[in-house]
Amino acid sequence: NAALGDPEVPLNVTGIVAAGNHLYFAVDNDPDAALWISDGTAFGNSELAAFGSGPIINLVALDNDAYFTIGTTLYRATSSEVTSLITLASDVNEVIASDNGLYLALVDGSLIHVAGSTVSTVTNENGVALSGVSALTAVATDGVYFAGDFDTGAGTSTALYLSTGTAAQLVRTDAEVQN
């Protein structure tokens, strides 16, 4: 048995994802954070990157890589390195991976789509940036469903949207589509 405080034993694990042939896991040693990688064996674990601030949150897998945020920064981890992809204007509430990239719901209520090196603000059918975004749900190849603000003309309500990239459309009933 390893003793507590053993530097070879990662403690305070806060998130785990499988990407490719590896497990990635976040370790939070407040205020420091680290991302570890594992080949799935008891002794195949190593620290991939250490950060002077933390915690690592929103750890998700897309293809062979892991993605996560610390504050307003989105990172990508491969099996050999961690790189900063973008620093956003607002903290990130939620990240979800879809067949067509990553979606980030920000604290300010907006939605960001990341596909490769392209970062875009998701807009509604009128080209206006969305607000009040929450409850991201990826559904196979359809993209991402989510709740967002909708101007009813008499005020704001919450509606269901679907995005398959940088634009989102309201999800309507068959009766609405036929009219």
Question: 133-161, pLDDT tens digit by residue?
Answer: 999 998 866 689 999 999 888 888 999 99
- CA distances to 36, 57, 109 from 72, rounded to whole Å, are 21, 11, 14
Average pLDDT over residues 81-87: 95
**Alpha helix stretches (DSSP H) within the chain:** 174-178
The pLDDT of residue 59 is above 60: yes
**With the C-alpha atoms ordered 138, 139, 141, 144, is the resulting torsion angle positive or negative?**
negative
Question: 94-139, pLDDT tens digit by residue?
Answer: 999 998 899 999 999 999 999 988 999 999 988 999 999 999 998 8
User: Rounded to whole angstroms, how far apart are CA atoms 65 and 13?
Assistant: 19
CA nearest 67: which of 104, 58, 10? 58
